[in-house]
């Protein structure tokens, strides 16, 4: 698009959305959170061109601008650790894609990701997001597969055995859903009764199976174990934490990372099952 010229030029919400390649609703959210330069004139939002250009050139928001929130994929161990660490970090788990967007827009200090890629996990996604001043730190390798009613043990030995079963999946954009879609690409899923309403977290998916609302789901061994479900492993994935470089050294993130390295966390991971914490703390990627 062509940006209006002149020292007093202002952009409309639609022009800003086109420039940032986001939906207009996102621009309104950024303005409401005071995360983007704007003016409100007679009830209408206007965006000063010079300030907006400086904001874009400045890259990601600083650590002080970011709220103390962990966004991204729901992980039972991280969920528990965030509470036990008493680090003052809130959680907003709504899938890896939403977590990456929350981080990109400055709405979180860190985000948990497990985005499957052709040759690994997460690296391509964070590289293509155009991020700056951040780092991707490994938290764990996790066992991902089919969570199912205990009586289906032996009957279901792979993805080709799901015909006639009621299945609930995670929402589009969640890492588990992306992996399921990748593993079943080219398969005929017509014989599976897939619930129209997805599960928003790993816990929701496991609960639905445990309570009889579905026969099977796709998710973590840890979630299956929590609810006494049978589990068929299908993949080992990387679960990483995308962290703002300045926020990394702030007390909330430091407290969380210290707790993740504690014996208590290692014991909890062993209790939950399906976690390999040996990569914890490894730097997987650093932004340009």
Same domain, 131 and 249: yes
Same domain, 16 and 152: no
Same domain, 85 and 135: yes
Same domain, 229 and 158: yes
Q: Is position 3 within any domain?
A: no
Q: Is position 180 within any domain?
A: yes
Q: How many CA atoms lie within 13 A of 75 on its CB side?
A: 32
Same domain, 95 and 69: yes
Q: Which CATH number do you get for residue 221?
A: 3.40.190.10
* Torsional class of 277: left (φ above 0), alpha (ψ -120 to 50), beta (otherwise): alpha
pLDDT digits (tens, 9 = 90+) for 207-225: 999 999 999 999 999 999 9
* List of residues 6+ apart from 279 with CB closer than 8 A: 138, 139, 140, 141, 238
pLDDT digits (tens, 9 = 90+) for 238-251: 999 999 998 999 89
- Rounded CA-CA distance 137/183 in Å is 26
Q: Are strands 134-148 and 120-121 parallel, antiparallel or unpaired?
A: unpaired
List C-alpha distances in Å: 106 to 30, 46, 248.
9, 21, 14
Boundaries of domain holding 39: 10-57
- Look at the pTM and tell me if it is higher than 0.85: no
Confidence (pLDDT) at 35: 76
Q: How many domains does the chain have?
A: 3
């Amino acid at each position: 698009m062509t940006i209006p010229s002149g020292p007093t030029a202002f952009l409309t919400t639609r022009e800003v959305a086109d420039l940032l390649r986001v939906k207009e609703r996102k621009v309104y959210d950024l303005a409401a959170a005071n995360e983007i330069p704007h003016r409100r004139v007679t009830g209408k939002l206007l965006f000063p061109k010079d300030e907006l250009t400086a904001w874009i050139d400045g890259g990601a928001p600083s650590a002080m601008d970011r709220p103390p929130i962990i966004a991204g994929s729901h992980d039972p161990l991280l969920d528990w650790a965030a509470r036990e660490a008493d680090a003052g970090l809130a959680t907003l788990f709504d899938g890896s894609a939403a977590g990456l967007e929350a981080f990109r827009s400055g709405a979180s200090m860190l985000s948990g990701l497990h985005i499957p890629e052709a040759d690994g996990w997460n690296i391509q996604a964070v590289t293509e997001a155009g991020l700056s001043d951040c780092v991707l730190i490994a938290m764990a390798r996790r066992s991902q597969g089919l969570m199912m009613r205990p009586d289906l043990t032996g009957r279901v030995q792979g993805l080709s055995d799901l015909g006639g079963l009621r299945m609930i999946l995670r929402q589009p954009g969640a890492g588990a859903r992306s992996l399921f879609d990748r593993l079943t690409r080219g398969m005929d899923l017509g014989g599976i009764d897939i619930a129209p309403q997805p599960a928003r977290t790993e816990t929701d998916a496991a609960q639905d199976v445990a309570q009889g609302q579905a026969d099977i789901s796709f998710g973590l061994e840890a979630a299956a174990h929590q609810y006494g479900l049978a589990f068929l492993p299908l993949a080992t994935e990387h679960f990483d934490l995308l962290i703002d470089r300045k926020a990394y050294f702030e007390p909330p993130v430091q407290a969380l990372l210290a707790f993740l390295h504690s014996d208590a966390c290692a014991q909890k991971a062993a209790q939950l099952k399906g976690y390999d914490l040996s990569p914890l703390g490894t730097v997987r990627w650093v932004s340009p």
